Structure 1
Amino acid sequence: MTAPRVLALDLSITATGVCLPDGTTHTIATQQKTGDARLKEIERAITEATFDVDFAAIEDLPTHAKSAGVTGMVHGVARLVLLRYGIPYAVVTPATLKAYATGKGNADKTAMAIAALKRTGREFADDNQCDAWWLRAAALDWYGHAEFTMPQAQRDRLSKVTWPELAEVAS
């Protein structure tokens, strides 16, 4: 079975990190002066990114911010796009993603970037791209297609995520 084509999203109203199935990353940057119209920009960009995707991984809101207004709206837009195109997705809490990447659930953005650099030599334009890249790596690892080796204790953290069945993901 081939690896699922994973789209990973670190959602934000100002700078959404995107990791495409081939591992390339970019940021969907919006301007505050455009107000809620930024949601349409994000929707368009995510829609374009869904081409030839089997599965998406989204970084969840932090537990203390579950009802955060603006970021919650971005999550709604992203999930609506994925639902529209029938793309199953998993929502990964920031603490789980950080623990997978670094071994510490409270790691900061620098630790995430250092972990990527040490494991693969990858550097990113911003922390949003780095988080999206780690989301893709976690999803591929969960589905048995890891691109690099991670300590088992860190891999075990992925069991906290509700992942769709592989039959729903792989074609």
Structure 2
Amino acid sequence: MTSAPRILGLDLSITATGMCLPDGSTRTITTRDKGDWRLVAIQHAVRQQTGALDLAVIEDLPTHAKSAGITGMVHGAVRTVLLDEGIPYVLVTPATLKAYATGKGNADKTAMAIAALKRAGREFGDDNQCDAWWLRAAGLDWYGGPEFEVPKAQRDRLGKVDWPALATGVAA
């Protein structure tokens, strides 16, 4: 018997990391720490969620963003946690995520939120949670356990992602 994968969605940022837990609940990791101690706080928050995961779906680094260097440090810190815990992860480019959610690879944060409201009746505390939720939704959809339908053209965009094989007994 196979079960739906337990997926953690992560929209990584040094100031406000969005998380969507396997049960669909969302939260934002913010920290009062300064400097590189923020990385440790983010690592700790992610490590607390790794107990029963099959996969983490992470929004990939922005290609030309000014903050790509800082966000890259967050990616390194979080990927280290996932590697230490033996949890596979996959990167989804912002354009692919936006196209999956809205049909347009250049959609803004408002369009992403409206799409979540239309498709699943979901609202979020901030855009980081919304992106993390869409990342989890993309993973569930790819592995055959979508929680709602999106048009085929939008789902087909997920084919651009290099999805890993999941453990035995998990739907793939």
Bin for the TM-score computed over the shorter chain: over 0.9
Cα deviation, residue 165, structure 1? 1.4
2:13 corresponds to: 12
2:31 corresponds to: 30
**CA separation of 1:169 and 1:106: change in aligned 2, threshold 3 A:** farther
Is contact 1:88–1:168 with CA below 8 Å preserved after alignment? no
CA distance in 1 between partners of 2:159 and 2:122 (Å): 25
Q: Percent identity between the aligned chains?
A: 72
Is contact 1:54–1:169 with CA below 8 Å preserved after alignment? no
Superposed, which structure 2 residues align to 1:33-72 within 5 Å? Answer: 34-65=34-65, 68-72=68-72
**Farther off after superposition, 74-83 or 59-68:** 59-68
- Which stretches in structure 2 are left out of the alignment for 5+ residues? none
1:65-99 CA distance string (max 9 Å, x none) = 49922110000011000000000111000000000
Secondary structure at the aligned position of 1:63 is classed as coil
Cα deviation, residue 64, structure 1? 1.9
Cα deviation, residue 170, structure 1? 2.3
* Number of equivalent positions: 170
Letter in 2 for 1:26: R
Is contact 1:90–1:163 with CA below 8 Å preserved after alignment? yes
Secondary structure at the aligned position of 1:104 is classed as coil
CA distance in 1 between partners of 2:3 and 2:66 (Å): 35
**CA separation of 1:131 and 1:98: change in aligned 2, threshold 3 A:** same
CA distance in 2 between partners of 1:152 and 1:24 (Å): 26
Is contact 2:3–2:169 with CA below 8 Å preserved after alignment? no
Cα deviation, residue 62, structure 1? 1.5
1:21 corresponds to: 22
TM-score, normalised via structure 1 length? 0.95
1:143 corresponds to: 143
Secondary structure at the aligned position of 2:64 is classed as helix
Letter in 2 for 1:20: L
CA distance in 2 between partners of 1:169 and 1:85 (Å): 19
TM-score, normalised via structure 2 length? 0.94
CA distance in 1 between partners of 2:9 and 2:23 (Å): 11
Structure 1 ranges of 4+ moved more than 6 A = none
1:133 corresponds to: 133
**CA separation of 1:153 and 1:5: change in aligned 2, threshold 3 A:** same
**CA separation of 1:69 and 1:117: change in aligned 2, threshold 3 A:** same
Secondary structure at the aligned position of 1:17 is classed as strand
Secondary structure at the aligned position of 1:34 is classed as coil
